[in-house]
Structure 1
Amino acid sequence: MVSKDIEENRVSIIIPVRNVEDYVEEAVKSLFSQTYKNIEIIIINDHSVDRTRSLLDGLAKLDSRLKVYDAIGKGKVAAFNQGWSVCSGEYIFLFAGDDVLPNNSIENRCLLFGDGVDVATGKIKSFSNNKKYDGIVYPKKNAPNLSGGAAGFTREFANKIFPIPELLPNEDVWTSLHIRAFAKKINWTNDIILNYRIHENNSMGFGVAFDKKSEIIGSRNKAYKLFLEKYKNVLDLENLNYLDGKIKAEGLRKEGRIWSLLFLGGVSLKDRLANISFSSELTYKVRVVLEKYLSGR
């Protein structure tokens, strides 16, 4: 049982959804069953054309903590921003309509807050009908997962992140850059706090053709330039150099300049190899074959 002192803090869970009729009931019911009860579930229906909205209406009748809104803008990031504008929690968590939370996920992360902690996170584990993508833990090593679905934020820290630029396809890079640059204290558990469903319609484009995957990666990586433009006058040298390396690597990746990427200074070997794997049709094919071994890091 969660102590009353801890559960005094309301948690807002913001979820953009679009055409997830096959998954949304399982996702939302995993929130209903959380051991941490003081939550508000804010779902923004991003112009779904399947049964998603009607399923959500039925779920909302089962639990008053669920509030469903129709999207004003269009796209995942616009939906997150809309959810942020109406949420009231002291802690902010982001979620997806096709994933599943272990029933102690919110509690485990809330226990990590306090003593100046800005960000509380844990590990993610994938599940999929495709064995290649099933059972991957992110990250494999003893380190925090800083992706949007894993990390929870204090409201004060979330104020730095939101609004997210709406030309970005998702929140992950933008949130992780804020954590890297501005989080005074990060606390994490090695427990699995999110079960990440991988399927053919994932926004990350698992298993798609190279041209499509390259487009997805390029759209995500726009966050580096946007972040630098916004914060260049307040970032320290370490973060400026990090962003410079990321931006240069993306330029080389788009041009397919594998050798230049391999010897690019100021960028970790892991990042150089990741960019190489998305820089040509051949290297991408190799990555797809070895996906389970290369993922998780």
Structure 2
Amino acid sequence: MSPKVSIIVPVYNVEKYIHRCVESLINQTLKDIEIILVDDESPDSCPSICDEYAQKDARIKVIHKKNEGLGLTRNAGLEIASGEFIAFIDSDDWVDLTMYETLYNTAKNNQCDTVYCSLQYYYSPNKIIPFKEVNEETFFQGRKEIDTFLLDMLAPLPTYHSDVKYMVSVCKAIYSRNIIRNHHLKFVSERIIASEDMVFHTQYLKLSEKIGFIPKYFYNYFQNENSITHTYTETKIERLKKFIQEMDVTFSQYFNQSEYYIRLQRKALHYLRTSLYIKYQITKSHPFIEQIKEFKELCDDEIFSKTLVDYPYHLLPLKHRLFYFFIKFKITSLLILMYKLHKV
């Protein structure tokens, strides 16, 4: 008999954190689960730690594979997952012990293809920041409601107070394996395109009939110096541009441009702003002269220039308005000053 939930855990260079993650899974109140640890050719002691856990708990399966990155590592887990629902967790994060029982029961009791919970950013025991998405148990049923949810996940309208209404992370939900298997859904490589989770959701939600959302902060999203949210690679902007292009093509197949493009603009601008923040404020990896040159190139970039042509950024919070104004009119010196003053 198939387990109720298969939990796929990509594992890479997290020997300091993997015990916390796996312990939160093996101690779930929902016992009928399958835990798939996918070692992405981790260079530390994680491969042996995974094998040790598999020897102790029959519910744990281990895959050792060549290094390919997060998206393709999740795909390796999908190939052997046998649960009624599929879940994902990053191996430096951890979850509430009641998470999967609550999500599963909500899905079964309400005939949902997917149920989401919320997450909280964990910096330290004294700094935990919850990200609020819904006030009460909420359901979206039928094409119109789910399409609106998908559009809001891409990005909210300009009048919304935040750049993010629903987090795109796949790690805070359970997904119907039937939908994934029957339609051969896979993750794209994050090494090629930014936000592989949004690409997955775009495919998955178009096939869903009912989804639920519960107001519980079950997922602990660990923030540390090695977290992907705090790292920058020189391909990040190119992957962001690829994402914008791909999402434009994909959403144009399902929606009128008037429905989705203003949201795609906000997503693009949000990702650009945060990517540059990581590069210039957290990593602080480039001297001033190089920053001036790179900002000028970004201001001249066709994709970002097009995004800013008619976006009503005057509706956004003041510091965001200033950022986009400076980008649009290529005022690079004030852009850099904003970063130095932590005002982005």
What TM-score does the superposition give when structure 2 sets the normalisation length?
Answer: 0.66
Equivalents in 2 of 1:175, 1:84: separation in Å?
13
Computed over aligned residues only, the root mean square deviation of the Cα atoms, in angstroms, reads 3.9
Equivalents in 1 of 2:271, 2:214: separation in Å?
35
Name stretches of at least 5 consecutive residues in structure 2 with no aligned partner. 136-164, 274-294, 328-334
1:20 corresponds, among 1, 9, 14, to 14
Letter in 1 for 2:261: N
Aligned residues: 275
Higher mean C-alpha deviation, range 152-161 or range 194-203: 152-161
What TM-score does the superposition give when structure 1 sets the normalisation length?
Answer: 0.75
Equivalents in 2 of 1:50, 1:56: separation in Å?
11
- Could you list the per-position Cα deviations for residues 191-217 of structure 1 after superposition, in whole angstroms to 9, with x for gaps in the alignment? 111111111111122xx5xxx378546
- Is the counterpart of residue 137 in structure 1 residue 184 in structure 2? no
1:105 corresponds, among 99, 102, 108, to 99
- Once the 2 structures are TM-superposed, how far is the Cα of residue 238 of structure 1 from its aligned partner? 5.8
CA contact (8 A) 2:4 2:83 kept: yes
Q: Quick one: structure 1 residues 90 and 44, their matched pair in 2 at CA, closer, same or farther if it must change by over 3 Å?
A: same
- Once the 2 structures are TM-superposed, how far is the Cα of residue 130 of structure 1 from its aligned partner? 9.1
Q: Quick one: structure 1 residues 273 and 192, their matched pair in 2 at CA, closer, same or farther if it must change by over 3 Å?
A: same
- Could you list the per-position Cα deviations for residues 59-98 of structure 1 after superposition, in whole angstroms to 9, with x for gaps in the alignment? 1111111111112451111101111111111111110111
2:320 corresponds, among 266, 269, 273, to 273
Name stretches of at least 5 consecutive residues in structure 1 with no aligned partner. 1-6, 291-297
- Could you list the per-position Cα deviations for residues 160-193 of structure 1 after superposition, in whole angstroms to 9, with x for gaps in the alignment? 5821222236633223444665543321111111
Report what 1:47 is aligned to.
41
Report what 2:280 is aligned to.
none
Equivalents in 1 of 2:174, 2:99: separation in Å?
11
- Could you list the per-position Cα deviations for residues 98-120 of structure 1 after superposition, in whole angstroms to 9, with x for gaps in the alignment? 11111001011112214442221
Report what 1:125 is aligned to.
120
CA contact (8 A) 1:125 1:196 kept: yes
1:163 corresponds, among 175, 186, 194, to 186
Q: Quick one: structure 1 residues 13 and 219, their matched pair in 2 at CA, closer, same or farther if it must change by over 3 Å?
A: same
Letter in 2 for 1:147: S
Equivalents in 1 of 2:211, 2:228: separation in Å?
27
Letter in 2 for 1:24: I
CA contact (8 A) 1:249 1:275 kept: no
1:38 corresponds, among 6, 29, 32, to 32
Identify the structure with the greater helix proportion: 2
1:232 corresponds, among 252, 267, 272, to 252
Letter in 2 for 1:97: S
Letter in 2 for 1:186: I
Bigger Rg, structure 1 or 2:
2
CA contact (8 A) 1:245 1:267 kept: no
- The SS at the match of 2:44 is coil
Identity of aligned residues (%): 23
Equivalents in 2 of 1:240, 1:74: separation in Å?
32
